[in-house]
Structure 1
Amino acid sequence: MKKTLPVLFLLRLRNHGITFICFLVAAMGNLSAHGQTVTTGKSYINITRPNGGTFLPGDVIEIRATIAVTGGNNTIASRLNSVRYNDTLNLAKLDYVPGSLRMISNEGRLQYAYTDNADADSANINTVTGQLRFNIGDNAGSSDVSSQGEGTVNSGRLWGGNYFRPSFFGNTCIRVYAYRVQIKTLASAVAIDTTVILRAGNFRYRMGSSTTDVLSGFSPYQVRITPDYGLCTNAIGTNAILGEFGGTFGSGLTQNRAGGSTFVPGPYTWVAFGANSPNDNYYGLANRTSANGSSNPNAAMPSSARVFTIWDIIGDHTGASNPLAGNPPTGLGYAVIINASYETNRAFTQNITNLCEETYYEFSAWFRNICRRCGCDSTGKGASNTGYVPAPGNDSSGVRPNLTFQIDGQDVYNTGNIAYTGQWVKKGFIFRTRPGQTSFTVTIRNNAPGGGGNDWAIDDIGVATCMPSMQYSPSLTPSVCRGNALTITDTVRSFFPNYTYHRWQRSTDGGASWFDIGSILGPATTIFNGLLYQYVSTYTVPPANTTPANSNDKYRVLVGTSILNLLNLGCRATDVTNAVTL
């Protein structure tokens, strides 16, 4: 979430990864050097699952509130005054992690650690009420949330430029105030398939000489507690995403697919690739990510062929022979490329219908961090500047993308920070529909603060069932003596013990049509073989159906997660390639 309050008319230009703020003459012809832009955002990361996962009891979550100020100076009329941040923990569901009040950079680097107590420093938490407060900026005094509440006492002041640390390229002050909570472990407090609310919190400040508070206007997050099954280890079914060429965004001869995508909601705005675009809060839809149409992934660094002279030049992901490498920028396939800002905006959303009840679906997508030198250290030096101090591990990519997957407005999965590797990575989770549920809305949301970095590509978005596998016995083409009974079996294996209703079918016309044999069977009792759940379905072909006239008769098994699903053509499963043929 971000709120921007321009005091004057502003023009944003970006070059070499640096944002310049140029102040334009207003209608009256006045030129001011004291205008300010204030940007705020709130996000979180799951510390317990740095490589991605769902949310479970015991997970430690770091809440991050960001404020960025550009322009102004240290005069009362030209700065932010009375700056503070207040929040209240949901103590019914969360435990505060002692000693975790901190100020960090937008890349997560520690700037200052506060004590929890109401003492000399400018942060305090009351662990009984869950209320916390940061007094922010120049002249900020000691914090005592119990006595100061949301008032202005001991609050500080901020302005842009290179006075404060951390500084963003010397013209913007970006500060991130963070604290950690742990999801309670007692089932009586937090159970599977329940929701934990991360409350909104607010920055409060006053613009110049105003005596009226401006609030950041954050909204709470709803975090769903759900088991972490990873991704389907077996085959997956047909993609339920029907629009945008099944989540692949199609292909074309031109570099930019004009008009953007309805899958990417506002405030992200489509723009063609260029020297300085897409910029913050814009996105591109292209078959190569170069600034000038170049298809050379090995262009010099920096180079005018690269967006901001430093972005990777890549192609899309769909159908790549090497899924990690993706396609070269000589192909025709399109991908969406997001330049995320401080807002936790939605990058993709769609309502999915015609789903099957009580069925497990994999919701996944492929992502790629596309900038390896977008970082900016706390002194304002960019990764291409002399004296730049890289992040731990000699990382100069800047803010790492971090995405949250939602189902019906609830946060269910977090990707973790996506490091720059020069490769694509698949992220996603498995979700089970409720009894009677046949639709849901899926959303992917930016969950990282803005600044240098947080530039990423997304492709091959999918929602598909985790399908069972089938193994027939004694073989796919058994022989039987005329007039003898034949027992055939099918070992049904699945990622979950849910495809337990089954029915045999027979075809007498080579598989052109099928008819049911007997009644529906189940629910079968499954056993876990160390990798998958399985059970065996058995049918005995009677002697009357083992005559020479029955040669080439076929038999197969249908499976479903419920009787209703077994009767539904769109919700039952079978092996479409193999069947038993006499």
Structure 2
Amino acid sequence: MIKSFIHYLILLGFMGVSQLQAQLGFCKGNSGSPIFKEDFGTGKGDSSLNQGSTTYRFTQGSPIDGSYKVSSNTNWYGWFITKDHTPNDNNGRCLIVNASYNSGEFFTIPISGLCENTTYEFSSWLINLFPAYNRVCGPSGNESANPINITFEIWDSTETLLLKKGNTGDIHGSYDPNWQQYGLVFKTNPGQESVILKMRNNGLGGCGNDLAIDDIVFKTCGDSIVIEDELKNRQQTTVSENNYPYSITLTALPDFTVFSSHHYQWQKSLNSKDWYNIEGEDRNNISIKNLKETTYYRVLVAEDAINVLNTSCHLITDYFKISVVDIIKAQKKEPKKTKTKITKTITNPKPYAVVEEKEIVESTIIDTQPQIIEKDSLPNSDVDTNLLPKTYKEIITVLDGNKVIKHKVWIDGAIGQYVQTNEKIIKKGDDRSDIVINETIYYRAVYGFNSVKRTYVIKLKSK
């Protein structure tokens, strides 16, 4: 009986660890815009955190155990020399930490402006600064460094109620700089509008357990919501002028994994960047009439109606794009042709004649497949949209006894290809052995060009 009880306690312990690890994760549905982001700024010098944010010592020199710096320089102790995580930063800074010998809290930051009864995602990027190949630790001086191990905790503003926590487990050194993202999903309680984020060191100090932190973000988390039209198209649909005037109904479909109720505000945009609320459109579907240009639609969603327009509370769906297009057909015009002939005599070791004949074919318009051009991407009205780019075609004729035709073809414009045959240029000093020509011949078709391939043998004979 005692053994069974002990086994039960051990099982509970393993279950507790598994549950702790499983609490790390990201929002599986749609999110809102970040309501808080800490990227630690930019600059070449070192800076410190706000007072009360850490129990570690600030240093402007080499960060010893139990110290930190906010810096763009990670060139210490054989660490990776790496940039911060924030994209497009110039001298971007991150929080650099040389963890203490003892485990414990090392970073705290309050987050305000939240909404009550709302689900949020916290995320942060971490990197183990000690390379795996830098084996300088242990009594032998040839052992791997201690891994980093961090616990994230989300507390209420009184620091008496733990809302969520999760542990990274051991993060060992890598062979290349490797920023990794970790996150937690939590929900605020009634009346709760702020939380406190804490990070705790669980690893061993000394040789290793050196890390950097960057891009701490809080944003709302909600259902996975897709937008579709009557034909079950998702994300986008395309219509042409043949469908004018065009009408469509879009519907937002939540999966109810997070929200128990849904309140909506539809938005539209002409460029997918600048968004505007559509007055009165606060249901899960929207009817759009007389659409004449490419337009994007999305919807703001909140669990409480009072929070729909609050950026700290709502989520934002992916947009649905309606592409409105015109079909522009190419027209055919007869090409202009010119010819020139050049005769050369080559005398090594015995003379033979080479005659080059060039034919230049130019046309302002070629036959090609109709182009589909979106209405919002049409050029200015002073441009003739019926004109397509020129096609330049050069034909080189080589004569030596038997007539052999070789082609070099440049195809521009709608086809967008460059094609050149595999050929050998006959020049002074070449051997007079037979030359094999692998040739691709392109010729006009109703739409664009067709091609055939053939092989020639050029037999060089002395005059």
Alignment of 1:297-312 (within 5 A): 307-308=76-77, 310-312=78-80
Amino acid at match of 1:314: T
Partner letter of residue 259 of structure 2?
N
CA separation in 1, counterparts of 2:169 and 2:122? 16
Once residues 367 and 507 of structure 1 are traced to their aligned partners in structure 2, the CA distance between those partners, rounded to angstroms, is 37
Task: Establish whether residue 489 from structure 1 lines up as the match of residue 257 from structure 2.
Answer: no
C-alpha distance 579-562 of structure 1, shift in aligned 2 (>3 A): farther
**8 Å CA contact 1:240, 1:352 repeated in 2:** no
Give the corresponding residue for 1:516. 280
- The CA deviation at 1:313 is 2.2
Q: CA deviation at 1:283?
A: 0.9
Question: Aligned residues, how many?
Answer: 298
Question: Given the alignment, which residue of 334, 337, 353 partners 2:96?
Answer: 337
Distance 1:557 1:436, change over 3 A: same
Identify the structure with the greater strand proportion.
2
Alignment root-mean-square deviation, CA? 4.2
**Deviations 1:113-145 (Å, cap 9, x if unpaired)?**
xxxxxxxxxxxxxx9xxxxxxxxxxxxxxxxxx
Partner of 1:431: 186
Instruction: Pick the aligned partner of 1:232 from 22, 27, 33.
Output: 27
- The aligned amino acid for 1:261 is L
1:381 aligns with 2:140: yes
Give 3-state SS (helix, strand or coil) of 1:261's partner.
coil
The Cα of 1:231 is off from its aligned counterpart by 1.8
What is the rounded CA distance, in whole Å, between the counterparts of 1:501 and 1:375 in structure 2? Answer: 57
Superposition deviation, residue 413 in structure 1: 0.3
Letter in 1 for 2:227: Q
**Normalised TM-score (structure 2):** 0.53
Q: Please tell me whether the aligned partners of residues 343 and 449 of structure 1 are also in contact (alpha carbons under 8 angstroms).
A: yes
Equivalent positions of 1:64-463 (< 5 A) are 182-183=12-13, 228=23, 230-233=25-28, 236-241=31-36, 246-252=37-43, 254=44, 256-258=45-47, 260-262=48-50, 265-273=53-61, 277-290=62-75, 307-308=76-77, 310-319=78-87, 332-372=91-131, 373=134, 376-377=137-138, 380-383=139-142, 390=143, 396-397=144-145, 399-408=146-155, 409=159, 410=162, 412-421=165-174, 422=176, 423-463=178-218
Counterpart Cα distance in 2 of 1:237 and 1:538 = 20
Aligned equivalents of 1:444, 1:268: Cα separation in 2 = 12
Q: Distance in 2 between matches of 1:442 and 1:319?
A: 24
Q: Which amino acid in the other structure matches residue 173 of structure 2? A: Y
Q: Is the 8 A contact 2:147 2:171 kept in 1?
A: yes
Residue 558 of structure 1: aligned partner: 300
Shift of 1:340: 0.9
TM-superposed deviation, 1:376 = 4.0
Q: 2:307 is paired with a residue of what secondary structure?
A: helix
Give the structure-1-normalised TM-score.
0.43
One-letter identity of the residue aligned with 2:278:
W
Match of 2:101, SS? Answer: coil
The structure having more radius of gyration, on CA atoms, is 2
Q: CA deviation at 1:317?
A: 1.4
Consecutive unaligned residues of structure 1, counting only runs of 5 or more, are 1-94, 99-126, 128-179, 191-195, 197-222, 291-306, 321-326, 384-389, 391-395, 522-536
Sequence identity percentage = 28
Distance 1:450 1:435, change over 3 A: same
**In 2, distance between residues paired with 1:376 and 1:581?**
60
> Take 1:420 and 1:184, find their aligned partners in 2: how far apart are those partners?
26
Q: Which ranges in structure 2 are unaligned for 5 or more consecutive residues?
A: 231-235, 325-463
Question: 1:19 matched to which residue of 2?
Answer: none
Give the distance between the partners of 1:508 and 1:266, measured in 2 at CA: 44
